[in-house]
Structure 1
Amino acid sequence: MYGGVGDTISSPADVLIITASKRRIPAHSPVLAAASPVLERLLDQTAKRIDGSGGAISISILGVPHGAVDAFLRFLSSPSRLLFFFIFFIKCGMLEAKVEEAAAEMAEHAVHLLVLSHVYQVGWLKRACERALASRLASEAVVDVLVLARRCDAAWLHLRCMKLIAKDFAAVECTEAWRFLQEHDPCLELDILQSLHDAHLRQKRRRRKREEQRVYTELSEAMDCLQHICTEGCATGHCPDSATCRGLRQLVNHLALCDRKKRHSCGRCKRLWQLLRLHASICVQPDHCQVPLCS
């Protein structure tokens, strides 16, 4: 029998849960009603139907193995904090007997528990199942888990699956699950490929934005150093950026020594002229500026 929050209820079980193998699991209606709004409605409907007949309340949970239903009822009968504690203990490497048992049940029945927690609207158990499945994701099974996540409206698990597919699509594409998907659900295949394409475009935009930001930062530093060199002569020891100042001084020295006939084709000279033009275009006091050719 399954007890209430924390302790076993002393009263006898008043509900029989019938599984797919026709086996019966006794349970307590207050525990089930408190854990799941769906089970609460089922209990109310069944109680009204047999009111006065003296029959026992029975609820069928079919479509999943008996062991998964048994584990599901065990989690409902335990405080929800137990699940979060066992996740914490796993991370800390301090598994105790009950916690280890809960972790083993979760590992064995995570797929079916996710389905049951979704159908019966047990939010805390659903989130724990998502994390348990995500912790063991692999290329061979990620497509199956992705389909399950979509059907159970498990957005967090769906995102983790998509990240793994995007990271190792070559391996995923070789799996039997992906070939089955191509043959039987081309719409989902197209949706996944479109999502991967969109993610690739977003990544390219982020890289381009970072590159543009890097160029803007380098130009800003070069403008500051150019103003510093032309105003103070870079002899004060307070350079905005010593490496940039050194590179600009080398360009200035090169311009002074470069053959005038070759300046129009010299890459280093062109770089300095570009900096001078850029400075002239943004300078707010060209009449008083000491940068050459600013006015």
Structure 2
Amino acid sequence: MQEITPIHFQTTRVLPEYDVFIHTSDGTRIPAHTSILASVSPVLENILDQPRKHRSSERIIQIHGVPSTAATAFVGFLYSSRCSEDEMDKYGIHLLALSHVYNVPQLKQICIKGLSQRLTVENVVDVLQLARLCDAPDLRLRCMKLLTNHFNTVQRTEGWKFLIKHDPWLELDILQFMDESETRKEKLRRHKEEFGLYVELSEAMECLEHICTEGCIDVGPYNVEVGREKKPCKRFSTCQGLQLLIRHFATCKKRVKGGCLRCKRMWQLFRLHSYVCQQNDSCNVPLCRQFQLRMEQEKRKDDPKWKLLAKKVVSAKVMFSLSLPKRKRDEEVRVTIESCGIRHFGYNEYCNNQCVSC
């Protein structure tokens, strides 16, 4: 004899007598109302619209493959549009399947969110299989990420062992996702490294203009006094290194023959500045105007590469500036340093005596 399971529906509506019964796998009969079921689920509406063999026969809907308690929770949601945390803990997987089969989008979204929060290495394979069958891409992605991050542990679960025996296509899909994930991580790592390099170059360009226009602790234009009283710029670590490089460039004897790597690096910074500079004739950086004139007169094969590098440096500067909080963008870094060595770099006199070659 079938058992009738009464349901305490959480609704304020006055309901008529039950006119449909839901039968579950274990013989449980759940009473319901056709008007409620049809208004929430188009699938149930189609089932209820089918003609009965006999007018006197009961309307019956078969819901098999899930526990009767899960079916009861499903019918309860159709009336109240609510699903308790306890029901989600116990029947989340079953409710997701029922919401997909009977096309109840609101319940489906609740189940996807609830199952995403309850993913573990023990149930992730089962949830992934269900997410694929129930067309739940967000839940599938969460499962894939958890599998990728804890693959060694998941491999030891019964769910994984069952999967590799009975669903090789899903196993292949998982392995491909993991491979693509590693590729994406590697691309992201390289992108971060390149972005960091462009940010460093943009800082070097700022420091170069600062040194050649205002002067800093150790190096400055011939008409600007520098020394201990001169405050360091906000990017002192870059600025100090660049000052040392400029001082070396001014006195090095190997650069004439191109035998000094430090001088070559300084020369490249001068050239990069000429591609970034927008000041034209008013720029105080050495060799800037000479490089620009040469660019206008000669079309060198490596010019597109330098222009692209300059574009990326400017872009990185803007992006880095926007990524900082306003208070950090405005604050100045205060450091205390000791000056040493040569105080001035008469770069104007030096540039007038040099020819531009790179």
| Alignment TM-score, normalising by the size of structure 2 | 0.68
1:162 aligns with 2:148: no
Deviation at 1:67, TM superposition (A): 1.1
Partner of residue 93, structure 1 = none
Q: How do 1:1-295 and structure 2 match up within 5 A?
A: 1-2=6-7, 6-7=11-12, 9-45=14-50, 48-50=51-53, 53-78=55-80, 80=81, 82-83=82-83, 102-234=84-216, 237=231, 239=233, 241-256=235-250, 260=254, 268-280=262-274, 282-283=276-277, 289-294=283-288, 295=290
59-68 or 227-236: bigger deviation: 227-236
- Structure 1: tracts of 5 or more residues without a match: 84-101
Deviation at 1:6, TM superposition (A): 2.0
Deviation at 1:174, TM superposition (A): 2.7
Deviation at 1:182, TM superposition (A): 1.9
Deviation at 1:17, TM superposition (A): 0.8
Partner of residue 87, structure 1 = none
Give the whole-Å Cα distance in 2 for the aligned partners of 1:272 and 1:104: 68
Give the whole-Å Cα distance in 2 for the aligned partners of 1:123 and 1:16: 23
Q: Percent identity?
A: 49
Deviation at 1:237, TM superposition (A): 4.7
Deviation at 1:222, TM superposition (A): 0.7
Give the whole-Å Cα distance in 1 for the aligned partners of 2:264 and 2:34: 83
Deviation at 1:7, TM superposition (A): 2.3
Q: Would the aligned equivalents of 1:37 and 1:121 in 2 still touch at CA under 8 Å? A: yes
Give the whole-Å Cα distance in 2 for the aligned partners of 1:187 and 1:136: 25
Deviation at 1:175, TM superposition (A): 2.3
CA shift in 2, pair 1:59/1:285, >3 Å: closer
TM-superposition CA deviations, 1:55-81 (whole Å, max 9, x none):
221111111111111111111111x2x
TM-superposition CA deviations, 1:32-68 (whole Å, max 9, x none):
11121111111111xx2246x2222111111111111
Give the whole-Å Cα distance in 2 for the aligned partners of 1:207 and 1:66: 51
CA shift in 2, pair 1:287/1:11, >3 Å: closer
Give the whole-Å Cα distance in 1 for the aligned partners of 2:285 and 2:108: 66
Match for 1:58: what amino acid? I
Q: Would the aligned equivalents of 1:224 and 1:240 in 2 still touch at CA under 8 Å? A: no
- Structure 2: tracts of 5 or more residues without a match: 1-5, 217-225, 291-358
Give the whole-Å Cα distance in 2 for the aligned partners of 1:167 and 1:20: 38
Deviation at 1:162, TM superposition (A): 0.9
Q: Would the aligned equivalents of 1:3 and 1:31 in 2 still touch at CA under 8 Å? A: no
Give the whole-Å Cα distance in 2 for the aligned partners of 1:122 and 1:248: 65
Give the whole-Å Cα distance in 2 for the aligned partners of 1:285 and 1:49: 87
Q: Would the aligned equivalents of 1:114 and 1:126 in 2 still touch at CA under 8 Å? A: yes
Deviation at 1:231, TM superposition (A): 2.4
245-254 or 119-128: bigger deviation: 245-254
Structure 2 SS opposite 1:49: coil
CA shift in 2, pair 1:15/1:9, >3 Å: farther
Q: Would the aligned equivalents of 1:15 and 1:59 in 2 still touch at CA under 8 Å? A: yes
Relative contact order: is structure 1 or structure 2 higher (C-alpha 8 Å, sep ≥ 6)?
A: 2
Which has the greater radius of gyration? 2
266-275 or 102-111: bigger deviation: 266-275
Deviation at 1:123, TM superposition (A): 0.8
Deviation at 1:163, TM superposition (A): 1.3
Give the whole-Å Cα distance in 2 for the aligned partners of 1:60 and 1:282: 73
Give the whole-Å Cα distance in 1 for the aligned partners of 2:46 and 2:78: 16
Give the whole-Å Cα distance in 2 for the aligned partners of 1:284 and 1:127: 54
Q: Would the aligned equivalents of 1:33 and 1:40 in 2 still touch at CA under 8 Å? A: yes
Deviation at 1:207, TM superposition (A): 2.5
Give the whole-Å Cα distance in 2 for the aligned partners of 1:253 and 1:57: 94
**Which of the pair is proportionally richer in helix?**
1
Match for 1:43: what amino acid? L
Deviation at 1:10, TM superposition (A): 3.9
CA shift in 2, pair 1:189/1:265, >3 Å: farther
